[in-house]
Structure 1
Amino acid sequence: MPSHVFADHAAAQPPERGTVDALISQTRRLRGEVDAVRRDAVAEAGRGDLEGRWQRALCDLAVHQLNDLDDHLAQLRDGPPRAGGEPAVPAATEDADPHHGSLLSRVGSAEWNLLTDEASWSGELYHILGHDPAAPPLSLDELPSLVHAEDQPRLTTMVTDCLIDGKPIDGEFRIKRSDGRLRQVHMMGEPVLAPDGSTASMWAVVRDVSELRRSQRVLRESRDSLQRRHDVAQTEHRLAVELQEAVLPPWRDSLRFPHGGPGRLDLAAHYLPSSTSSLIGGDWYDAMELPDGTALLSVGDLTGHGVSVTSDMAMLLGALRGMAVAGAAPGQLMGWLNQLLDATVQPALGSAVCCRYDPATHLLTWAQAGHPTPLLFRDGTGRALTPPHGVLLGATSGATYEQTEEQLRPGDLLLLHTDGLVPRHDRVTATGLLLSLASRLTEARTAQDCVRTIVEEFDVAPREDDACLLVVRI
C-alpha cells in the first residue's frame, strides 16, 4: 500500500523559492517592527502598570506567532525532512530565547502502520517528545507513556475515534520529556484507509505549543487584571458619587434653610467634576442654619481622588456641622478640623474656608486654612477679602487659626470657591478673572444666575481637578 502523504513525505515539489523567500523577508521585517513595539511595552510594564503588562503580553504573542510563521515558511521552502532524520532546528536552540528558535515553531510528524505494526517518526518529533533518537519510535500503545497521566484518557479517546470511527485527530495534551520538562503539544491527524475501506494506518502532525499557550495565558491574565481594575474603578466611582450626592446639598435651586432661617440670604452652589479623571475628588460646599439663628457657610477641598477621599470629606463635613452647632467659632473650628484630619488613619491635606454670618447685624466672621480667599462683590465692583492666618489642614499638629470679621451690606454678593474653578490658572490670575465678572454678577437677579454665569464662563477649558463654588446674596 502506498504510504500516505504527510509532513515527512516529499510527495510534492516545494513551491518557488523566490516566492517563499519574499514571504519570509516580509515576516521577519514585520517581526522586527513588532519586537520594537514589544520592547517599548516592556519598558512601560516595568513600572508595574497593568495596561503596559497587557500590551507586552499581546506583543509577546504576536512575536511568537510571527516566529512560528517564519519557521514554517522556511520548512516549506526547504522541503520536508526525511523520516528519522536530524531535526531541522539544532538542539542547542532549545534553551535559547523563547522568542527566537524555541520549541514553539517545531513541527514533527509520524505514521503508524496498523498492518505491519511499523511506526515512522520525523527527527523533529523525537526532539519535541524528548525521545532518544537512537531508540525505535513508540507504537500507538506505547505513546501514552509519554503523556501526562491526566491527559492520557484524552489521547486514547482521540486515537480510538480516529481508528474506529474515522474521525480526524485535533487536540492538545501534555507530555513529560525525559529531561523532566512538561510541554504542551497539539496533534492533528487522520486515518489512512486501505482499498477495502479498512483503516490501514494513522498519520499525525505534532506541534509544540507550550510557549504559545504560555503567551496566551499571560495575555488572558493581564486582560482579566485590567478588567478587574476597571470594574473596581467603576464601583469606587459609583460609591463616591453616591456618597457625595448624599452629603452635599442640591445645587439646582437656591438653598433654603429648614426653619426659615436668615430669610434674606439667597444661596446657590455648584460642583464641577474633573474632565481628565473619572474619580471624584474631595471638594465640598455647605450652608446651614445654626441654633442661634446665624448661618454657617463653608467650602473646602481634600487632596486626592476616589472613594476614600470622598468618605474623608463626608467625615470632615459632618464634624464641621456638629462642632458648629455646638457653638464653636470659625477659628476654633479650623483648629479642631486640623486635629481631626491629623489623627485619621491615612493622613491627608486639605484646605477650607469657614464663615459664620449673623443676619441681624450682617456681620461675617470667618477663618481659612490655606484656601482661596472669598470674593466680595458690591456696587458693580469686586475685591478679595483680607485673609486671616491659617495653614493647610493636616499640615502640622496643634496649628492655631486666626479669624477676622467683615461687615456686609444688603445687596452684597459673596463668592466662596475651591481651587480649580478657573482651569489652568494660578490663584492670583484666577482671582483676577473672577473679579472681572463683577458687573455681570452684581446685575444678576439671583444667586443661581450668578452660578450659571460663572459656570458658562469657566467650564469650557478642560478641568484637571474638581472644583465647587458657593454664591451668597445678602
Structure 2
Amino acid sequence: MDTEVGGPMADQSQPGARAADAPGTDKRQQLALHAIEDLVAEQQRRIGEFTARAAAGTPEPGPPRRHTDHPPLPGPSVRELFDALPVAALLVAPVLDEQGEIEDFLYVGQNAEAWRYADEVVPDTTLPPWPGRPVPLFDRFPNMVRTAVPDLLIEAHRTGRPQGPAPVEWFLRGGDGTVVRLSNAVRADRCGTYLLLSWERGHRTELARAAQRLARACWAEWNLGDDTVLASLGARHVLGLPPDEPVPHLVELARMTDAEGQAGLYRVLYDVAFRRRVAECRLPLTSTGDRIIHFRAEPVQLQDGPVWGVRASMMDITREHLNRERAQAAQQEAQRQRERAQALADVAATLRDAVLPRFPAELAQYGLETAAVYRPDAGAGIGGDWFKARHLPNGRILIAVGDARGHGLEAVTLMAKLRYALAGLAFTGEPVEQLAAWLNTIAYDDGEESTTTAVIARYHRERSLLRWVCAGHPRPVLLRAGKAGQLPDPPGGPGLPLGVLPDASYRATEAYLSEGDVVLMYSDGLTERRDGDPDADVARLLEAAQEAAAHGIGPGHDGLQQYAEDVVQSLSGPWQTDDATLLVLRCVRPLPPGEAGSAAVRED
C-alpha cells in the first residue's frame, strides 16, 4: 500500500507560498508550474477540511472505559510468536456484554512488524503513547471505526473463519495538522480468545488488478507438464471472461479465436516450444465480444531441459485496432475525395483550356492588339473567370471579361455556356446592351447559382471607339501617356450581375481611344485581398499598370503579353483569394480598309 503524507495544510495553502522557479524556465513553464502548485495546494486544503470535519464528528475518547473482564496481556512466549509473524498485526480482545454480544474491542498490542510499519509511515505526533495496558481500539484509532474493520472483527469472532482481505482506507491526523492516509489490505482471524487484525501495505492485490484493468494488459503462464494455468488478476478482464470462469488452457484459447487467430497462435506456440524463441501474434476473440488481443509469448524451461511452459503477456488492443481501422477508412475516403477532386480539376482545366481564346494575330489589323494572363487560385483551383476577344463579320471586335460564380467544373461549365452564347449572339449585330440582357436571361434560366459578373464591349475601328456595358464587374482601366485611371461608370452606374433578376436592363458608355492607349479589363481576383479596402485594391492596380509601363511597352503581341504578365506578377502574393484574369487591349493604327478586308458597317 502506498502511504501519502501531506504537510500542514495552513502552510501549503497560503497564496504565494511557491517554490523558487528553476533557473532557465521560461514564462510559460513558470505559469504551468505555479498552476500545478496551486492545484496541489488546493487539494491539500480540501483534504485538511475533510479530515477536520471527520475528526469533529468522531466522539472524543473521554475517560478511559474500564473493562475488568478482558483477557490478560499475552505472556512472553506468545509475544515471541506474535513478533515472528511476517506481516504487521494488532492483537485485539473482544469485549462481550451479558448476552455474549460484542460491545467493544480492546487494543492489546502490536507485533514488531507493526511497530516498524508505524515508525516508517506514522509521524510521532499522530498517536498518543501506548500506556502498556489494553485500551479501547477505536479510542486509539478513532477513524478506523468508519472502515470495514469492525465488521471483519465481528465476523471473525462469530464464525471462527478468517475474514478478508478487504481494502481499508483511513487516516490519522496529528496535532500540527499533518495528515497521514493509510491504505491496506486487511484480514481478521480468530486466535483463541483474541482476534488478530493483520494487513499488507497498499492492498497490492487491488492495485495490481486496477493497473491491469487500466492498461488492458495481463500475463499468464501455461504449464505444459500438468496442463495447469497460472494467470494474473486481470487476465479474465482482458479476455472478456466472467470473474468466476477459469482462465482457458491453450487449446481452449484457440477455440475462442477465428481461423486467422488459430493459425497465428500455432506459429507462436511452434516458435516457443521448438525454436525456443519469443513470438507474437494477434488473436481476434470472436467468442467474447469480438475482442482483439496482442499475444506475446516466451518459453519457460529448466536449465538444460525441455520447454516446460509458455509464459505470455496479453493486451487488449481492440480500441487501437478500431481507431486504426477508422483512420484507414478516413484516409481512404480522403484519398478518394482527392482523386475525385483532381479528376474534376483535370476535366475543368482541360475544358477551360479548350474554350479560352487563342488570340489571332489578325486582330491587330482591325485596330487592337490583345494579350491575356490567367492565374488560378492555388487553394480553390480552377475558377469561373472567362474572357473573349474576336473579330466580327462587320469589322468590329467583340471583347468580354467575366467571372462566373464558384470554382471547379460547375463554374467552368457556366463560363463556357456564357462564352459560346455570347459568341453566337454577337453575330446578330445587336448593341452590347442587348447582348448583356440576353446573357442575363440565359444565366437566370440556368438556376439561382448561375450568376456571373461581366464587362461586354465592342470596338469600332473606324471611330477608335470602345463601347461597353458593366454587369456588376470592376470597371476597365485606361493607360494613356503613362497615366492610369478607371473608365467612368455607365449612366446610372453598373448593372446587376448576370442571372440575378430575369428582366435586368443595362446601359452602355463609350470611350474613344488614341493610338498607343492601353485598356486593362480584369476580374476582381487580381486586386482584392481578404478584408481589404476596394479603393485601395484599385489604387494598387493603377500603380502596377503605370510602373510596368514606366520604360515603355514592347511592340507587337509579345511586348503586350510581357506587359500583362508584369502587371499580374506585381499583384500576386499569398493574399490571393481567387483566380485572376487580366485582358489587355492596345489601340494600334488599323490597316486601310482595302487591306483589312471589306466589312459591312452597322452602327450600334
Instruction: Note the alpha carbon deviations across 1:263-294, whole angstroms, 9 max, x for none.
Output: 3311112123336x251221122211112221
1:207 aligns with 2:315: yes
Q: Percent identity?
A: 33
Q: Match for 1:406: what amino acid?
A: A
Aligned residues of 2:548 and 2:567 also touching (Cα < 8 A): no
Aligned twin of 1:344: 446
3-state SS of 2:524 partner? coil
3-state SS of 2:526 partner? coil
Q: Give 1:37-436 correspondences, 5 Å limit.
A: 88-90=208-210, 105-148=215-258, 151-176=261-286, 180-194=288-302, 197-250=305-358, 255-257=359-361, 262-274=365-377, 277-344=379-446, 347-381=449-483, 382-388=485-491, 389-424=494-529, 426-435=533-542
Deviation at 1:358, TM superposition (A): 1.9
3-state SS of 2:394 partner? coil
Deviation at 1:195, TM superposition (A): 5.1
Larger Rg: 2
Aligned residues of 1:237 and 1:278 also touching (Cα < 8 A): no
Q: Match for 1:376: what amino acid?
A: L
- Of 543, 557, 567, which aligns to 1:454? 567
1:468 aligns with 2:565: no
CA distance in 2, matches of 1:184, 1:267: 69
CA distance in 2, matches of 1:325, 1:257: 20
Which of structures 1 and 2 has the larger relative contact order (alpha carbons within 8 angstroms, sep 6+)? 1
Deviation at 1:170, TM superposition (A): 0.4
Q: Greater share of strand residues, 1 or 2?
A: 2
Query: Which runs of 5 or more residues in structure 1 are unaligned?
Result: 1-32, 34-77, 91-100
| Distance change (3 Å), C-alpha of 1:135 and 1:247 | closer
Instruction: Note the alpha carbon deviations across 1:352-380, whole angstroms, 9 max, x for none.
Output: 00111121232322222111112334445
Instruction: Give the TM-score, by structure 2 length.
Output: 0.56
| Distance change (3 Å), C-alpha of 1:262 and 1:386 | farther
CA distance in 2, matches of 1:214, 1:208: 12
Deviation at 1:213, TM superposition (A): 1.7
Deviation at 1:133, TM superposition (A): 3.9
Aligned residues of 1:108 and 1:124 also touching (Cα < 8 A): yes
Instruction: Note the alpha carbon deviations across 1:380-420, whole angstroms, 9 max, x for none.
Output: 54451332552111212222222233333434332211213
1:444 aligns with 2:444: no
Deviation at 1:151, TM superposition (A): 3.0
Deviation at 1:247, TM superposition (A): 2.1
Aligned residues of 1:375 and 1:383 also touching (Cα < 8 A): yes
CA distance in 2, matches of 1:415, 1:137: 83
CA distance in 2, matches of 1:452, 1:357: 23
CA distance in 2, matches of 1:387, 1:183: 74
Q: Match for 1:141: what amino acid?
A: V
Instruction: Give the TM-score, by structure 1 length.
Output: 0.69
Deviation at 1:328, TM superposition (A): 3.8
Q: Match for 1:242: what amino acid?
A: T
3-state SS of 2:250 partner? coil
Q: Match for 1:110: what amino acid?
A: A
CA distance in 1, matches of 2:447, 2:261: 52
Aligned residues of 1:104 and 1:208 also touching (Cα < 8 A): no
CA distance in 1, matches of 2:321, 2:215: 12
Q: How many residues align?
A: 377
Greater alpha carbon shift after TM alignment, 292-301 vs 227-236: 227-236
Q: Match for 2:262: what amino acid?
A: Q
Query: Which runs of 5 or more residues in structure 2 are unaligned?
Result: 1-31, 33-199, 588-604
Aligned residues of 1:330 and 1:367 also touching (Cα < 8 A): yes
| Distance change (3 Å), C-alpha of 1:334 and 1:192 | same
Deviation at 1:463, TM superposition (A): 2.1
CA distance in 2, matches of 1:383, 1:141: 88
3-state SS of 1:141 partner? helix
CA distance in 1, matches of 2:273, 2:574: 72
